[in-house]
Each structure stands twice: as C-alpha cells, then as structure tokens.
C-alpha cells in the first residue's frame, strides 16, 4: 500500500496533458529568450505553445487524465505567457500603460474567477452555468466560441509585435487583423465581466458567513 500511495503523485505528474504542459513551458522559455533577436521564431514557438494549450485538454478527456494539478499548471502557464508577452509589448510600444492595463485585467480576472470557484466548491473555473451574464455563459459553454476568442486575442498581440507595417499593404492580412481585433475585444469584455461576477461571488460568500 505504501508503494502504491507513493506512486500516485508521480503518475499524475506523468499524465500526457501535464507532459504537454512541461513542453509548453520549455518552448516559452526558448521563445522569450529569442523575443528581441528573432521575432519570427519567437512567434512560431509561442503560437505552437498556444496550440498545445488546446491539445492538453483534448488528451486529458481522451485518456481520462483530468487532474487539478493539470488545470492549475495550464492556467498558470497561460497567464505567465500572456503576462510576459504584454510586458515585451510595453517595452516596444507607447503608451506602455495600455499593455500593462491589459496585463492587470487578465491576471485580476482569472485570479478572482479561480478563487470564487474555490469558494463555491465547483470543480472547474469554467463552470458558469449559474451565471446571470449570457456572454460569460456563452464563452465557457461553447468551446468553439471560446477557442475563437482566445486564438484571436493571441493573434492580435502577435501581429502587433510582428507585422504592424505589413498590415497596411496586404488586404488579406488586414482582414485577419480586423477579425482578430473583434475576437480580442470580446475577450477583454469577458475579462471585465468575469472579474465583476467573481468579485460578486466573493462578496456573497462573505455575506453568507455573517
């Protein structure tokens, strides 16, 4: 029994989706090390890491390897990656406060959502079926809509880093940028809504305790 118990934590660490998470972290480390010297390679590595973010969830469901550690690893990797990217943009473009404000919103929104989920006893921060906001329910309730918003958000940030000048000369690229801007805007609105509803949940928890 002792050996069996000792092996359980190791087996979770070696879940396929968690291994994908470790690979994402390594790719991001290499990407950010090259972010100023080779922007194209940085963007390729960063985007592959982002694609893997969708794959780890699929593997978790496919092989029944869903874990709390994996969920936390996934969210922390996402938030740190986005934070680092926005910090880089704040160094390259002005006013930097725009990118730092987006960083603050992203962290505050997701941290509050995770904490309110913990207080309510839910298994996942994506469980918003009881939310009164239709957009938040649509975002977490429809996988393709959420994927579009997330991809658009990352694509919008990367195009800011890479092809700001080329956009004016390429109509197809201009359309892609416009589409990504639409998804990015929806994602920011959802972040604000999520932050507010999560804060309300924390306040409601305090009221119930009293």
Are residues 139 and 190 in contact, defined by beta-carbon separation less than 8 angstroms? yes
Catalytic site residues?
Answer: 78
CB atoms within 10 A of CB 35: 19
Give the ranges where the chain is alpha helix by DSSP (H). Answer: 2-13, 16-33, 39-62, 68-92, 96-120, 134-141, 143-162, 171-209
Q: How far apart are CA 133 and CA 128, in angstroms?
A: 9
Tens digit of each residue's pLDDT (9 = 90 or more) over 81-102: 999 999 988 988 888 999 999 9
Segment 41-45 shows an average pLDDT of: 89
Residue 151 has pLDDT above 60, yes or no: yes
Tens digit of each residue's pLDDT (9 = 90 or more) over 192-202: 999 999 999 99
What pLDDT is recorded for position 162?
62
Percent residues over pLDDT 90 in the chain: 43
Highest mean pLDDT among 132-136, 144-148, 171-175, 187-191: 187-191
**CA within 13 Å, CB half, 105:** 17
How would residue 71 be classed by pLDDT, with cut points 50, 70 and 90?
A: confident
Segment 139-159 shows an average pLDDT of: 85
């Amino acid at each position: 029994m002792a050996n069996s118990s000792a092996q359980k934590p190791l087996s979770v660490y070696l879940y396929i989706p968690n291994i994908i998470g470790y690979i994402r972290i390594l790719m991001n480390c290499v990407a950010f090390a090259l972010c100023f010297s080779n922007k194209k390679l940085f963007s390729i590595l960063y985007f592959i890491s982002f694609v893997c973010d969708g794959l780890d969830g699929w593997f978790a469901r496919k092989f029944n390897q869903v874990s709390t550690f994996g969920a936390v690893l996934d969210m922390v990797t996402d938030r740190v990656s986005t934070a680092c990217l926005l910090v880089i943009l704040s160094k390259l473009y002005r006013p930097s406060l725009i990118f730092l404000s987006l960083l603050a919103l992203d962290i505050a929104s997701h941290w509050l959502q995770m904490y309110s989920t913990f207080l309510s006893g839910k298994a996942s921060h994506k469980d918003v079926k009881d939310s009164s906001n239709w957009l938040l329910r649509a975002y977490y309730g429809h996988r393709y809509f959420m994927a579009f918003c997330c991809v658009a958000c990352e694509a919008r940030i990367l195009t800011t880093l890479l092809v700001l000048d080329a956009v004016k000369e390429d109509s197809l690229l201009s359309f892609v940028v416009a589409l990504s801007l639409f998804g990015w805007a929806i994602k920011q609105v959802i972040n604000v809504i999520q932050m507010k509803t999560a804060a309300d949940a924390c306040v409601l928890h305090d009221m119930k305790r009293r």
